[in-house]
Amino acid sequence: MKAIITGISGQDGYFLSKLLNGKDYEIVGIVRRNSSMTTGTVEQLPAKIRDSIRIEYGDLTDAGFFAKLLEREKPDELYHLAAQSFVGYSFQNPASTYDVNISGTLNVVNAIKEYSQKTKMYFAATSEMFGQPETTPQNEETVLKPRSPYAVSKLAGYWTTKTYREAYNMYIANGILFNHESEVRGPEFVTRKITMSVARIKAGTQDYVELGNLDARKDWGYAADYVNGMWKMLQMDNGDDFVLGTGELHTVREFAEESFKQIGMDITWSGEGVDEIGTNQSGKVVVKVNKKFFRPLESDNYLADPAKAKRILKWNPSISFKQLIKIMVESDLKSLG
Ligand code: NDP
Ligand code: GDP
């Protein structure tokens, strides 16, 4: 089996590469060139896996690149993970987010339609498409009301793939994935920002972490579980839409508390709003609030109802909230030596 992975240099690309390598896939990874010629998380893969991946350099916004790629490779599966994936950045740079996430997705589906109709495609949709949901928990039938440029762009991608699936009888699966995190999560996402800070605070190289909305609540799972769900979505007879999530909500505050617990610190909160602080047992301030990390619009009330994935794909998350934090903090502590 041959698979193309766009966004192989990101978090999910790392775990998907491991999974597909374990199943003896030939993997072609798409990476956009940068001046230092780095390949992101691909460099963190075990050498045996890394060396088996064929990297092709190309950008999502280049329709001609994808046309030639699909005409030449005709893969069995294509996992379209590449995106401008950071909600905060999408408020500052909506146009480039739309270019990459909407036009980029159109380039991928057009190339499959024209040159490789048998390719099964996975599209990385997101729980952010729910926006401020009126019903909870959310499943494949919940009304979509996006509340960020990122969410709008993913909604456009989602409806593009659904339209192509119906109009041209293509196999396309949409994964409506809730937040999933790991030891290779991008450092600006709140979970990794916290666990990296906790490790540095323990090492004495950082005093405190500055966060935004401590009461924001998310349904956080472990990325390795979610890429397994992506693969399962492409092993069916037809493409379909599936929600993946844990069905458990936790606040940023709880994530921080549990992370500090891993290094033996118990946090006490005091103050309110942007003046709130978190101190450890010795009275040292280790968490501060900074309004620069608040979003112009916050999406809340997210909670996954993954019943369809459990029933049809036999998918189940295996890592708990506490286990996830342990994995992340231990990895960040280790990388500091
Ligand atoms: P990451 O941000 O870690 O990875 C995104 C990848 O896309 C990177 O490899 C990045 O390359 C690549 N990319 C961005 N722009 C371009 C471009 N113009 N051309 C080519 N490649 C590009 O995201 P994740 O791995 O966490 O997520 C994978 C997908 O799933 C994304 O589409 C994301 O939006 C979606 N998703 C993620 C969730 C999560 O909680 N992680 C939840 C729901 C959906 P580079 O390394 O050069 O930046
Ligand atoms: P997202 O769900 O894809 O936007 O993932 P993030 O990790 O960026 O944000 C998760 C939640 O944490 C959001 O509700 C943010 O508003 C909240 N949050 C609170 N403080 C911070 C922070 O310092 N950085 C980030 N990235 N998010 C924060």
pLDDT tens for 213-240 read 999 999 999 999 999 999 999 999 999 9
Nearest CA to ligand 1 atom 41: 180
**Is position 262 within any domain?**
yes
Q: What is the pLDDT of residue 300?
A: 74
**Ligand 2 binding pocket includes 189 (Cβ within 6 Å):** yes
- Rounded Cα–Cα distance for residues 160 and 294 (Å): 31
Q: Is the domain of 44 the same as that of 160?
A: yes
Supply the range of the domain harboring residue 287: 190-216+251-299+330-335
User: Which pTM was predicted?
Assistant: 0.98
Q: What is the pLDDT of residue 64?
A: 98
- Rounded Cα–Cα distance for residues 5 and 27 (Å): 7
Q: Is the domain of 176 the same as that of 312?
A: yes
Q: What is the pLDDT of residue 187?
A: 97
**Is position 325 within any domain?**
no
**Is position 324 within any domain?**
no
Q: Is the separation of the CB atoms in 129 and 90 below 8 Å?
A: no
Is residue 152 within a helix (H) or strand (E), and if so which, with residue range? helix 149-168
Residue that the structure tokens 């459990």 belong to: 310
- Rounded Cα–Cα distance for residues 55 and 14 (Å): 13
Q: What is the pLDDT of residues 99-117, one digit of tens each?
A: 999 999 999 999 999 999 9
Q: Is the domain of 134 the same as that of 43?
A: yes
Q: Closest Cα partner for 174 from 250, 112, 233, 127?
A: 233
Q: Is the domain of 103 the same as that of 164?
A: yes
Q: Is the domain of 280 the same as that of 148?
A: no
Q: Is the domain of 232 the same as that of 282?
A: no
Q: Is the domain of 74 the same as that of 204?
A: no
Degrees, nearest 5: CA angle 221-298-218: 15
Give residue 242's region: left, alpha or beta (phi > 0; psi -120 to 50): beta
**Ligand 1 binding pocket includes 234 (Cβ within 6 Å):** no
Q: What is the pLDDT of residue 309?
A: 98
**Ligand 2 binding pocket includes 87 (Cβ within 6 Å):** yes
Q: What is the pLDDT of residues 173-218, one digit of tens each?
A: 999 999 999 999 999 999 999 999 999 999 999 999 999 999 999 9
Q: Is the domain of 84 the same as that of 208?
A: no
Q: What's the CATH code of the domain at 200?
A: 3.90.25.10
Percent of the chain with pLDDT over 90: 96
Q: Is the domain of 48 the same as that of 135?
A: yes
Q: Measure 84 CA to ligand 1 centroid, in angstroms.
A: 6
- Rounded Cα–Cα distance for residues 100 and 80 (Å): 12
Collect all residues with Cβ–Cβ distance below 8 Å to 76 and sequence separation of at least 6. Answer: 1, 2, 3, 118, 119, 120
**Is position 37 within any domain?**
yes
Q: Measure 6 CA to ligand 1 centroid, in angstroms.
A: 8
Confidence of residue 302 (pLDDT cuts 50, 70, 90): confident
Confidence of residue 132 (pLDDT cuts 50, 70, 90): confident
Q: What is the pLDDT of residue 134?
A: 87
How many domains does the chain divide into? Answer: 2
**Is position 323 within any domain?**
no
In DSSP notation, 24-75 reads T-EEEEEE---TT---GGGGGS-HHHHHHPEEEE--TT-HHHHHHHHHHH--
- Rounded Cα–Cα distance for residues 201 and 184 (Å): 19
Nearest CA to ligand 1 atom 34: 85
171 is an active site residue: no
Q: Is the domain of 207 the same as that of 293?
A: yes
Q: Is the domain of 133 the same as that of 200?
A: no
Which amino acid belongs to residue 185? R
Q: Is the domain of 196 the same as that of 123?
A: no
Confidence of residue 296 (pLDDT cuts 50, 70, 90): confident
Nearest CA to ligand 2 atom 14: 216
Q: What's the CATH code of the domain at 95?
A: 3.40.50.720
Q: What is the pLDDT of residue 301?
A: 79
183 is an active site residue: no
**Ligand 2 binding pocket includes 252 (Cβ within 6 Å):** yes
Q: What is the pLDDT of residue 82?
A: 98
Q: What is the pLDDT of residues 41-67, one digit of tens each?
A: 999 999 999 999 999 999 999 999 999
- Rounded Cα–Cα distance for residues 211 and 319 (Å): 25
